[in-house]
Amino acid sequence: MSKIKIAPSILSADFSFLGNDISAITKAGADYVHIDVMDGHFVPNLTFGPVVIQSIRRFTKIPFDVHLMIEPVDQFIESYVKAGADIITVHAEATKHLDRTLNLIKAKGVKCGVSLVPSTPAWALEYVLDIVDLVLVMTVNPGFGGQKFIPAQLKKIQQIRAMINKSGRQIDLEVDGGINVETAKACIAAGADVLVAGSAIFGGDTVKDYPLRISQLRGANS
Ligand code: DX5
Ligand code: ZN
């Protein structure tokens, strides 16, 4: 079994302390920094523009896993690449021409991912699995941290794991929303290998807890 990767979502970090929080999760063993970009249109919340991402880039060398919850998306890809994204994930529901959007991302020299909201079936990925580097299964409705995990998504994770294995390609299967030690265990058993966690990592009051929280999530498969 491949190593479980942990991607702390900085949506739950202390924004007045963002650079330090990013250094702290890097030291604590995080594999990716998960950055939730929201537009107040595709999802009912607003977060980071490229300028914020550019300003935090110097605090770590680990990949920036940028989750774009924006619609339209194509015209913003270049600015997120320039700001320092390593992986750009878009929503299948937010672009009419998903194949074109993914090729736009690839053409900029970064990895591309597709995310599905809870009501979108696994087969939405069928004709893009030959291009994607990452699939992101939303295990809550996107827009906010701290929501409750939707158990029905476990079946979708299993279906996508089977599709990925059949493809023979190296594709991250990431889950996002309501991930804690208990739900992490279920997601890993269903086939996920990258866990996004916001409140489960940043939800406490001290950076000293980050290493333990990250290793507990990673160890949820043992
Ligand atoms: C929700 C975001 C998530 C969010 C997860 O739309 O995509 O990345 O930060 O937060 P938790 O882990 O608190 O559910
Ligand atoms: Zn996210």
pLDDT in tens, 156-170: 999 999 999 999 999
Confidence of residue 208 (pLDDT cuts 50, 70, 90): confident
- 47: tokens are 């977060």
Of the candidates 180, 214, 212, 176, the residue with the CA atom closest to the CA atom of residue 196: 176
Q: Give the chain as a DSSP string.
A: -PPPEEEEBGGGS-GGGHHHHHHHHHHTT-S-EEEEEEBSSSSS-B---HHHHHHHGGG--S-EEEEEE-SS-GGGHHHHHHHT-SEEEEEGGG-S-HHHHHHHHHHTTSEEEEEE-TTS-GGGGTTTTTT-SEEEEESS-TT-SSPPP-TTHHHHHHHHHHHHHHHT---EEEEESS--HHHHHHHHHHT--EEEESHHHHSSS-GGGHHHHHHHHHGGG-
How far apart are the CA of 9 and the centre of ligand 2, in A? 7
pLDDT in tens, 58-97: 999 999 999 999 999 999 999 999 999 999 999 999 999 9
Tell me which of 31, 36, 39, 193 is the catalytic residue.
36
User: Does 31 participate in catalysis according to the annotation?
Assistant: no
Confidence of residue 1 (pLDDT cuts 50, 70, 90): low
- 130: tokens are 């030959």
For position 156, which CATH number holds?
Answer: 3.20.20.70
How far apart are the CA of 143 and the centre of ligand 2, in A? 8
Residue of 45, 148, 199 to test ligand 1 pocket, by largest number of atoms within 8 Å of CB = 199
Which residues neighbour ligand 2 (ion) by CB within 5 Å? 36, 67, 176
Q: Any idea which ligand is nearest the CA of 142?
A: 1
pLDDT in tens, 22-64: 999 999 999 999 999 999 999 999 999 999 999 999 999 999 9
Q: Rounded to whole angstroms, how far apart are CA atoms 5 and 42?
A: 27
Return the bridge partners of 197, or none: 8
Cβ-proximal residues to 49 (8 Å cutoff; 6+ apart), any chain: 37
Domain hosting 200: range is: 5-221
The CB density around residue 19, as the number of other CB atoms within 10 Å, is 14
**Contact criterion met (CB below 8 Å) for 209 and 22:** no
47 Cβ inside 6 Å of ligand 1 = no
Q: Rounded to whole angstroms, how far apart are CA atoms 161 and 165?
A: 6
**How many separate domains does the chain show?**
1
133 Cβ inside 6 Å of ligand 1 = no
